[in-house]
Structure 1
Amino acid sequence: MFDIYTNVSLVSGAYGTVYRGRDNLTGRVVAIKKVRISLSDNGVSASTVREIALLKQLNTYDHPHVVKLFDVCQFLEHDGKLLILLVFEHVEQDLSDLIENLPKSGMSTTTIQRLSRELLTGVDFLHANRIIHRDLKPQNLLVSSQGCLKIADFGLAKTYDVDMRLTSVVVTLWYRAPEVLLAQGYNSTVDIWSAACIIFEMFSCRPLFPGTSEKNQLDRIFELTGRPTDQQWPKSISIAREHFPPRLPKRPRDFCPYLCEYADDLLYKMLLYDLHERPSALACLEHDYFQQEPL
Structure 2
Amino acid sequence: MFFLPLQDLKPSNIVVKSDCTLKILDFGLARTACTNFMMTPYVVTRYYRAPEVILGMKYKENVDLWSVGCIMAEMICHKVLFPGKDYIDQWNKVIEILGTPSLEFMNRLMETVRNYVMNKPQYPGVSFTELFPDWAFPSESEQDKVKTVQARDLLSKMLVIDPESRISVEEALHHPYIHVWYDPTEADAPPPQISDKQLEEREHTIEQWKELIYDEVMDWEERNKNGLMKEDCSDVASGSASQSSSANDISSMSTEHTLASDTDSSSIDTLTGPLDESQ
TM-score, reference length from structure 2: 0.54
Q: What is the CA–CA distance in structure 2 between the aligned matches of 1:167 and 1:261, rounded to whole Å?
A: 36
1:204 matched to 2:77? The reply is yes
1:248 matched to 2:111? The reply is no
> Which residue number in structure 1 is paired with residue 56 of structure 2?
183
SS at 2:112 equivalent = coil
Q: What is the CA–CA distance in structure 1 between the aligned matches of 2:98 and 2:152, rounded to whole Å?
A: 14
Shift in alpha-carbon separation, 1:165–1:154, aligned structure 2, 3 A: closer
Which structure carries more helix by proportion? 2
> Which residue number in structure 1 is paired with residue 167 of structure 2?
279
Q: Give, in angstroms, the shift of residue 185 of structure 1.
A: 0.5
Q: What is the CA–CA distance in structure 2 between the aligned matches of 1:215 and 1:206, rounded to whole Å?
A: 20
Q: Give, in angstroms, the shift of residue 167 of structure 1.
A: 2.7
| CA contact 1:177–1:190 (8 Å) conserved in 2 | yes
Q: Give, in angstroms, the shift of residue 197 of structure 1.
A: 0.7
SS at 1:207 equivalent = coil
Q: What is the CA–CA distance in structure 2 between the aligned matches of 1:192 and 1:243, rounded to whole Å?
A: 28
SS at 2:122 equivalent = coil
| CA contact 1:269–1:279 (8 Å) conserved in 2 | yes
Residues 15-164 of structure 1 correspond to what in structure 2 (within 5 A)? 128-161=1-34, 163-164=35-36
Q: What is the CA–CA distance in structure 1 between the aligned matches of 2:157 and 2:7, rounded to whole Å?
A: 19
Q: Give, in angstroms, the shift of residue 164 of structure 1.
A: 2.4
1:192 matched to 2:53? The reply is no
SS at 2:23 equivalent = strand
Q: What is the CA–CA distance in structure 2 between the aligned matches of 1:185 and 1:236, rounded to whole Å?
A: 15
Structure 2: gaps spanning 5 or more residues = 138-147, 181-279
2:81 partner amino acid: L
TM-score, reference length from structure 1: 0.51
> Which residue number in structure 2 is paired with residue 114 of structure 1?
none
Q: What is the CA–CA distance in structure 2 between the aligned matches of 1:149 and 1:184, rounded to whole Å?
A: 31
2:65 partner amino acid: I
Q: Please point out which of 133, 146, 151 is paired with 1:263.
A: 151
SS at 1:227 equivalent = coil
SS at 1:150 equivalent = strand
Q: Please point out which of 112, 123, 128 is paired with 1:237.
A: 112
Q: What is the CA–CA distance in structure 2 between the aligned matches of 1:136 and 1:217, rounded to whole Å?
A: 17
Percent of counterpart pairs with the same letter? 35
Shift in alpha-carbon separation, 1:167–1:243, aligned structure 2, 3 A: farther
Structure 1: gaps spanning 5 or more residues = 1-127
**Residue-by-residue CA offset, 1:140-177 (whole Å, 9 max, x unaligned):** 0011122221011011111032x425530110000010
**Residue-by-residue CA offset, 1:173-195 (whole Å, 9 max, x unaligned):** 00010000001111011111101
Q: Give, in angstroms, the shift of residue 200 of structure 1.
A: 1.1
> Which residue number in structure 1 is paired with residue 92 of structure 2?
219
Shift in alpha-carbon separation, 1:130–1:261, aligned structure 2, 3 A: closer
**Residue-by-residue CA offset, 1:46-83 (whole Å, 9 max, x unaligned):** xxxxxxxxxxxxxxxxxxxxxxxxxxxxxxxxxxxxxx
2:162 partner amino acid: D
Q: What is the CA–CA distance in structure 1 between the aligned matches of 2:39 and 2:26, rounded to whole Å?
A: 20
**Residue-by-residue CA offset, 1:181-237 (whole Å, 9 max, x unaligned):** 001111011111101111111111111111111111111111233112343221343
1:284 partner amino acid: A
Greater than 6 Å deviation, 4+ residue runs: none
| CA contact 1:251–1:268 (8 Å) conserved in 2 | no
Which structure carries more strand by proportion? 1
